[in-house]
Structure formats: structure tokens, C-alpha cells
A and B are shown apart, each in its own frame.
Chain A
Amino acid sequence: MKKEMICIICPMGCHLQVDNIDGDCVVQGNACPRGANYAKQEAICPMRTLTSTVRIANAIHPLLPVITSAPVPKQKLFVIMEAVNRVQAEAPIKSGSVVAHNIANCGVDLLASRTMENIHGNKQSAGDPGHPGS
């Protein structure tokens, strides 16, 4: 039986036709190989990358945007969010650095998704002009 599905891997949003032929998952309409993998994974265990924020001290804003280092099972999103909401970070922090290892024991790390300088310590904080004298 043919099933229509929208690929969510990238903003292209390919319209996939997924068919089960003799037990094999056959995917059409995908512009890249990731579309086929997506359709197969959706059938077994849907995975999503989680993005959120955590509290951060000494930064330009009270929150630091974070992202999981890999997709996590869709049904675990709320469990992971509970853990994310308990994380406290501190500036300075670099984009891509680990904020929490193995978050909620789901096998992936929580990463900072931007750089935040310490507004008290750094000589060039994010709020200052790049090159004074302008």
C-alpha cells in the first residue's frame, strides 16, 4: 500500500511516496538519499533533533540556546525537556561545546548552539561595538 509522507529532514520538504514491496520499504520522490532513510526510520522509530534553551549566568541574555548532538526518539522529547530545564550553564561558553553529557540517559549530549561571552570578564563583550572609534 502506497503512503504519502513529507520528508522533514531539510526545508525542501520532499513529498515521498512510500511503498511496501515484498517486505521492502521502497521510497520515491526523495531528492537525496536522506529522504529514503527518513521514511524507513519513521516506520521503525521516529527520531527528532531537540532544540531548546537553558539558563545561563553572566551572559548578555538569561538563556543559552541548546541542541541535542544527534536526533532522539520522538516519544522521549518530554522526558528530555524535563532534564533540559534543570541545566544551568555559565558564560563564557563556545558554540558546539557540551552543556550536559548524556542528557536524560538517552545517549546524546546537549550542546550550546551559540557562543556567549562573560559580560563581566571579557574585554570584548557581545554588546560592545567591534571597533571603537566609529
Chain B
Amino acid sequence: MKQLELVIVGGGSAGMAAALSAFEQGIKDLIILEKDDELGGILQQCVHNGFGLQTFHEELSGPAYAQRYIDQIRTKEIPFETQATVIQITPDKKITYVSPKNGYQEIQAKAIILAGGCYERSAGGIQLPGTRPKGIYTAGTAQRYLNIDNVMVGRKVFILGSGDIGLIMARRMTLEGAEVVGVAELMPYSNGLMRNIVQCLEDFDIPLYLSHTVVRVEGFPNLERVIIAEVDAFRQPIDGTEKVFEADTLLLSVGLLPENSLAKQLGLAVDTKSKGIIVNEKLESDIPGIFACGNGLHVHDLVDFVSSEGNLAGRNAAAYIHGMKESAAFIKCTAGQGIGYMLPQCIHPDRIQEPLTFSLRVTKPYKQVKLRILKDGQVFKELPKRYLLPAEMVRIILKPEDLQDVRQELKVEVCES
């Protein structure tokens, strides 16, 4: 069996950043396994701009952002294999993958980085009521068809869910000549970035129906109508509030979930809140030497933070291969009142030598509040926040000395008043 120091599963923004940083740390014996035909991951179909402001201080399109990393991977001759689908990973770090070029392959690795990205919640996933006609797609699928394969999925479009991909597709399909008749969002607030509400919906006078959901789709074999209704505080449709839209296409932008089927097969613990695996401050799972980063760990809204997380995972994997300091003393990091999830879920304070980033999301929108950080129940810091939105990930950076004296629990909560 082939032996390698490091195997990176996924060649998107997280995997490429991880490979580059591990390589820089002296790990030359590595490979990226990418299931698609080329590197770049989801960025290749995100032809809109807005990527890279944090990393490159420039506003790039998705493919242009990916290109920067692909060019570096090629210049440094970091090995990668495309069309390579990983089908199994064992706790002793044997990786099995298949590819049209090399067939069935096994690799024994010293460390593994899981960077497999996320997938979209589908029509079945939200129990969409009505018939099952042609014309219903997840927004990302329609995006791939339109931006990569040159296939326009429809002409009269309704969008369920105000996730960013749905908003971006509303603009994209409008520019390509489709009529987007409306966007319905179950929650009383948008789930996408505010800038996308402005530049994708308001710019084109596309109505956004908050607190609305699709109650029925009609038509067979092709979609003909989408019926929406207002929902009450318990998200139940209110009788008599139905609106009917003639549409040949329904796009779903109703959430992204970390792809962790390989992690589950490995027996790694999953956080029911972030929906990804549980990691420590090194982005390391329950199994030492198996790391995770990017949307496969938790869904991000900015690629820049995916790259920085990948970079961290790569450095930590390199440190593990070179012999990382063991530590038994770990403390829990808890998502308190108002916090949907927080990463990492546990830390080893004695191993932390550089500022540590915590990523979290709030459960609902807040205005004029404080984020309160508690160490063992004692208030350590309060950070004033003018706005907090579930769609916008919050990052808190703490210094090593801030974390040395925590004994049992670090907690973050939203403090109103």
C-alpha cells in the first residue's frame, strides 16, 4: 500500500489552502484528492464577485479567487488527483478512493484533512408539498447548469429560501433573461447577506416575501404553479393568505449542510448544532491526526475564512506529523443563550501559542447587544455589537494569555439590555 504523510480530501478553497500551508511547513509527501474534474470546488460556479477582500484586499470572482490558489498549487508542484472519489477512511488512517485513471486505490496516511465541503438541503429534505414535476432544483444545481454547463433551467422562476445562492441566482437568471417572480423566506428575516438582498433583489425589483413558505407546487410533468402562504409565529401556514405564482422553475435555497458522511463512517462525533464534526483548537477531530476545515466542518458565508481555516488545518496537520505536543487537559467551549453553534467545541489551553479564532452564529437577528464571554461562569469580556444576524458568521479572536486560566468551560452568550 502506498504510504503518504498527508492526504487532503477535497480540492476546493479549504483543501487547497490546507495543502499550501502544510507544504510550506515542510510536508512534501502529500496529495489532494478531488472528486470533480478540476480543482477549485464550488468557487468555479460562483462567477459573481465579492471574494477575497480579507485575503487579497481585492474583490475577485469565485473562479478568480480559486485561480490564485490553483496557480500556487501548480507552481509548487503539489500533487493532486482529480476525479478521485474517496469512499472510505479508517480510524488508522487508511484511505480508499476510486478514479477513472487509477481505479481502486489505497493510501496509508500519517495525517488526514477532511475538506469535503457542504451540500444543499433538497426538496425531499424540506418535505415540499405537492406534485413532483420537472423544474424544481436546488439553487446550486441550477447555478452549476447555468454557469458551467451552459444550460438555463427555466424562464419564469420562483425561489424558496433567501440563502445567498438563491439571491445570487435571482440576479444571475434575471440578467440572462429569465423573470424571477418572487422569493419566499420562512423566517421573518433574510438568511442571506444584506448586500445580496440589496444588489440581487432590490436592484431588480424582485419581491421578497418574509414569513412565507411554499404550501403547494402544481403541474405535471412540468411545474406550472407555485403557491405560497404567510406563516404564523410557529411557522405554520395561515389559511386564506395564499398567493399563486405562475412559474416553470422553483429554486430551493434552504440551507447548506456539511458533507460529513466520511466522518460519520469513521465514527467521529458530530455537533448537532453546527452539523459538522466536533474539533479542538487545532481543528482536530476525536481521532488524533484527523483534521477538518471549511464548509465540511461548518458552513461559512465568506470564502476568505474558509481559506484561513484551511491554512490553520494544514499547519496543524504538519505539526502533528512532526510530533505535536500532547495534552490531556481540555476545556469545553459552549454556545450559550442566543448562540446557534460555536467552534472549536473544546480547547487545550496549554497548547495554545497564538491567537485563537472562535467562529459562531447567533440563532436570530439582534440589534444593539453584547456578546459576553464567560470563563468558568465569570464574565471575562463583553463585546458590543450593533447588529448580529444568523446569516453572518461572527469571529472572536482571543489571545493565548486570555485562555490560560480557564479551568472547565469557556462560554459565549448574547446579552440583551
Contacts and interface: CB of A to CB of B under 8 A. Distances in A.
A binds B: yes
Contacts of A52: 47, 175-176
A11 B193 contact: yes
Contact of A131 (B59, B63, B79, B197): B79
B199 A127 contact: no
Interface of chain A: mostly helix, strand, loop or mixed = loop
Contact of B37 (A60, A78, A81): A60
Nearest to B151: A62
Given A15-B386, A63-B150, A67-B64, A130 B47 contact: no
A129 B102 CA distance: 10
Contacts of A46: 203
B97 to A, nearest CB: 10
Contacts of B62: 65
26 contacts: A10-B50, A11-B193, A11-B195, A11-B302, A13-B194, A49-B59, A50-B175, A51-B47, A53-B47, A53-B147, A53-B150, A60-B38, A63-B150, A65-B61, A67-B47, A67-B61, A113-B61, A113-B67, A115-B67, A115-B71, A124-B74, A128-B82, A129-B81, A129-B101, A130-B78, A131-B80
Given A63-B147, A65-B47, A10 B59 contact: yes
Interface of chain B: mostly helix, strand, loop or mixed = mixed
B195 A6 contact: yes
B60 A126 contact: no
Q: How many A residues touch the partner, as a band?
A: 35 or more
A3 interface: no
B66 interface: yes
Which of B150, B386, B392 neighbours the largest number of chain A CB atoms within 10 Å of its CB?
A: B150
Which of A15, A51, A78, A128 neighbours the largest number of chain B CB atoms within 10 Å of its CB?
A: A51
Given A67-B64, A129-B79, A130-B78, 6 more contacts: A8-B199, A13-B193, A13-B195, A67-B49, A114-B61, A127-B38
B59 A62 contact: no
B53 interface: yes
Interface residues of B, number: 49
Interface of B: 31, 37-38, 44, 47-50, 53, 59-64, 66-67, 70-71, 73-74, 77-83, 101-102, 146-150, 175-176, 193-195, 197-199, 203, 301-302, 386-387, 392
A8 B28 CA distance: 41
